[in-house]
Amino acid sequence: MGTPCVASAAGGIFALARDDVDALLVQDGDPYAPAGAILRLVDDTALTRQLSQNALATALARRELSKARMSMLEICRSIVSDAGTAGAARGTAAPHEV
């Protein structure tokens, strides 16, 4: 299990965390909001556990998606490289070199 996240609802956090799903997002600029969210976690162990589990599942899914993207990028680079090598052997430029 992990540690639940309390973060300010500002900037790019919405691309990383969902309020009450895998984090507690608090209003930006409210100095008391983080303390309130932390107390909520202390008082609600089921919420703490659920946020931690959801955050871990989200992180693992993103990691797998990132690996898949990298594999696809490597395949595309290999195809382009092979096309360039084949074009050079025939005396023609690869499509990306035109």
Q: Which residues contact 14 (CB under 8 A, 6 or more apart)?
A: none
Would 80 be classed as within a structural domain? yes
- Split into its structural domains, the chain has a count of 1
Please provide the average confidence, as pLDDT, over all residues in the chain.
83
3-state secondary structure of 51: helix
Would 96 be classed as within a structural domain? no
Report yes or no: 90 and 40 within 8 Å, Cβ to Cβ: no
Range of the domain at 34: 6-90
| Residue 27 confidence (pLDDT) above 80 | yes
| Per-residue model confidence as pLDDT tens digits over 42-72 | 999 999 999 999 998 888 888 887 777 777 7
